[in-house]
Amino acid sequence: MIQAQLHLQDYMQTLLRRRWVVITFFVVIVVSVLIGSLKQTPIYESSATILIERRTPQVLSMQEVVPMGLNDYHSYKEYYETQYQLIKSRTLLKKVADSLGLARDNHDVETGPVERLMRSVDVIPVKKSQLVRISVEDPDPVLAAGIANTVATEYIRQNLERNISVSGNAAEWLTRKIEEQRQKLKEAELALAKYRMQHNINILPQSGAQSAVEDIKAEYARLQALLAGYSQRYTDEHPKVIEIKAQIRSLRNKIDGLEGVDRGSTTMEFRVLEREVQANKHMYESLLERLKEIDLSSTLNVNNISIIDSAQVPNRPVKPNIPLNMALSVMAGLVMGAGLGFFVDYLDTTIKSPQDVKDILESYFLGSIPKITGGDKAKRDRLVHLQPNSPISEAYRAIRTEILHLMPKDRSLAILVTSAEPKAGKTITTTNLALALCQMGNKVLMVDGDLRKPQIHKIFNVDRMQGFSDYLKGKISLPLTIKDTDVDNFKIVTSGKVPSNPAEIISSARAEEFIREAKQRFDYILFDSSPVASVSDAVILAAKVDASIQVVRSGNAPVPVVSRVKEKLANAGTKFLGVILNDLKTYHGDYYSYKYYRYYGEGVRDRSLVR
C-alpha cells in the first residue's frame, strides 16, 4: 500500500513538474475544438420510419403467401440486408435527386448529387422490430426532411413496380401456356370426335369403376396443372415439385390399374382419347384460374412496405454538438496532455529530485534547497544570517548536520564546494553553509577559490584585492588576506587579482600551505571554486582539501555531465561527501521536508514576536 502511494506521488510530481506542458496542450486542444466547432457548418438530421413486412407479392396461388425460406433466420437476415442496400442504391438515389432537382442545385464540382445523397442518407434498423429509419443529414433542415420522405416514397414505389413487373412476367408466361394448352385441347377433342364418327361410338353411361377412374383422372389433371404452375416458380429439385410429381406417378398407376378392367362397350383407344381430352381440359381451366388471380393481384397494388412516420423539419442542428465536443476535448486534452508531460519528462535527462541523486548518480544526498522566489536578491546569499527562521535557512542547517555527521569532529576541516555547470548556486550554497556552521560557534573561513569569476567580495561588499591569488603568488601572508565580516566567527578571503594562469598557481605548493595555515586558525575552511565541467581548477583544489561537495541545480544539469564531475572529484583522492540539490521545486520530491521546515521556522518566528 505504501509502495503504491509512493508511485502515485511520483506520478503527481511528474505532472506538477510538467504542468506547463500539460496546461499548454490542454488549452490548445480545447481552444482548437471550440474554434472548429463554432466555424463548422450546422448539420440538421431528419428521419422517416417505414415498415418492411416479411412477405412477397402473391403471384400463383393464395397458398403461397409465405415463400419457402423466409422463416429461416439466415434467409430473413439476408432479405432485410438486401432491402437496406436497395434503399441506398444508386438507382433509387438517382430518382430522388431528379425528383428534388438536386442536380440543378449541385455546386460540388468533385461529386455529383448521387454521391452527396450516398454520404448523407443512412439506413438504421430499429432493434427487435420490422421498422427501419431512413435518416438524412444536411445543412438545410427543410431539404433534409424532403430527402428522407422522398427516399421512403421512391423506395415504396420501386418495390411496388418490382412486384407488378413480376406479376406481368408471370401473366405473359401463363398467356403463352394457355394458348398452347387450348391448342392441345382442341386437337384432342377433334381426335376424339373423329374416332367416334369412324367407329360410330355413342356416349354410354359409365359404371362405378369408370366413375372412379374419372375422379382419379380429374385429380390427375388438377395436379398436372399445379405442376405447370410450380415449374414456372421453382426448380425440379424443389420439395414441392418433387412431391407433386410423386402424387402424379401414384395416380397414373391407379388409372392404369383401373383401366385394365374394361366394363363398357367402348374400346380402349376411345378411352385413351377421352382421357386426353379431360386432362387437357383440366389443365386449360387451371391455367385460366391462375391468370385471373395474377390480374387481380396486379390491380390491387399490394405492397409489403409502408410509411409509419414521415420526416419532419428539425428545429435544431445535431452537428456540431458543442457541449459534447467540449467535454471530449477536455478529456482528450487532460489525458493527452498528461501523456505528453510524461513523455517530455522521460526525454529529460537532467537531475531533478533527491531520488535521481540516489538512483541515477548513486551518490549520497546531503539535502535540498527549495527554490527561492521573491525578496532581495542580494540578501539570498546570506539568508541564514539575515532570516535565520526561514524554511530556506532550516534547509541549510539540515545540510550542515549531514556534513558534520560525515566528517571527523576532532580536527579542522577544509571543504571544497563546486558544481558541474555555471549558475548552479554553488556560491550561495557555500556562503549559507559557512554561516550555518558559524551559528554553532565554529570559527569559519570562506575562501573565494573561483579565480576566474569571483563573487564573494560582491556579497560582503569588500575589496577584492589582496586575496587568495596574491597569497598563491607569494606576494602576501595569510593574515593580510583575511577580511572581517559583520558576523561573529566568520571571516572571508577574496579571490585577489584575477591571474592569467589560475590552474597553475592553484596546483602550486602554496595552496597546501594556505590550507595548513588556515586550519591552525579556523575550525572550517570552505572553498567556493570554479565549475568542474568548464575548467580544471576545482579538481586540482579538490586534491588538496579534506572533502568535496557537488551542488546540482534541479532540472538544469544533464546526468552525463553531473556523473563525470562526480567521477573527477572522487578520482582526485579526496573524500566526496555527496550532492546538494539546489533550486528544488516542492513538487520535485522533497515537499515534506520543506513543509516541516516552514512549519517550525514560522513557529520560532511567532514565538520571537510574542517575546
pLDDT in tens, 131-186: 999 999 999 999 999 999 999 998 988 887 777 676 666 667 777 777 887 788 78
The reply to whether 11 falls in a domain is yes
Give the pLDDT score at 110: 53
Give the pLDDT score at 435: 94
Please give the Cα distance from 186 to 201 (Å, whole number): 20
Please give the Cα distance from 151 to 158 (Å, whole number): 10
Burial annotation 352-386 (CB, 10 A radius, 16+ → b, else e):
bbbbbbeebbebebbbbbbbbeeeeeeebbbbbbe
Give the pLDDT score at 159: 82
Burial annotation 251-287 (CB, 10 A radius, 16+ → b, else e):
beebbeeebeeeeeebeeebbebbbbbbbbbbbbebb
Please give the Cα distance from 553 to 533 (Å, whole number): 14
| Same-domain status, 412 and 277 | no
Contact 371, 348 (CB under 8 A): no
Output the domain CATH number for residue 374: 3.40.50.300
Q: Which uninterrupted H or E stretch holds 515?
A: helix 509-519
The reply to whether 575 falls in a domain is yes
Summarize the confidence of residues 283-294 as an average pLDDT: 74
The reply to whether 113 falls in a domain is no
Domain total for the chain?
3
| Same-domain status, 369 and 445 | yes
Name, of 10-19, 243-252, 508-517, the range with top average pLDDT: 508-517
Distance of CA 318 to the CA centre of its chain: 23
pLDDT band, very low/low/confident/very high, at 381 (cuts 50, 70, 90): confident
| Same-domain status, 388 and 513 | yes
Cis amide leading into 320 (omega within 30): yes
| Same-domain status, 527 and 568 | yes
Share of the chain above pLDDT 70, in %: 82
pLDDT for 326 beyond 60: yes
The reply to whether 141 falls in a domain is no
The reply to whether 135 falls in a domain is no
Summarize the confidence of residues 71-85 as an average pLDDT: 79
Which residue segment(s) compose the domain that 602 sits in?
351-610
| Same-domain status, 211 and 335 | no
Give the pLDDT score at 105: 60
| Same-domain status, 338 and 355 | no
pLDDT band, very low/low/confident/very high, at 408 (cuts 50, 70, 90): confident
Q: Is 574 left (phi over 0), alpha (psi -120 to 50) or beta?
A: beta
Summarize the confidence of residues 202-224 as an average pLDDT: 65
pLDDT band, very low/low/confident/very high, at 491 (cuts 50, 70, 90): very high
Give the pLDDT score at 239: 79
Residues with Cβ within 8 Å of 567's Cβ and at least 6 positions away in sequence, in order, are none
Give the pLDDT score at 298: 56
Number of H helices, E strands in the chain: 24, 12
| Same-domain status, 538 and 406 | yes
The reply to whether 137 falls in a domain is no
The reply to whether 279 falls in a domain is yes
pLDDT band, very low/low/confident/very high, at 509 (cuts 50, 70, 90): very high
Give the pLDDT score at 29: 92
pLDDT band, very low/low/confident/very high, at 60 (cuts 50, 70, 90): very low
Give the pLDDT score at 206: 47
The reply to whether 235 falls in a domain is yes
Q: Give the amino acid at 63.
A: Q
Please give the Cα distance from 283 to 273 (Å, whole number): 15
| Same-domain status, 342 and 355 | no
pLDDT for 374 beyond 80: no
| Same-domain status, 487 and 383 | yes
| Same-domain status, 375 and 268 | no
Q: Which uninterrupted H or E stretch holds 230?
A: helix 208-233
Q: Is 384 left (phi over 0), alpha (psi -120 to 50) or beta?
A: alpha
- Cell triple for residue 457? 567580495
Q: Give the amino acid at 65.
A: V
| Same-domain status, 338 and 405 | no
Least confident of 343-347, 505-509, 519-523, 551-555: 343-347
Average pLDDT, the chain: 81
CA distances from 313 to 42, 117, 135, 319 (A): 14, 18, 12, 15
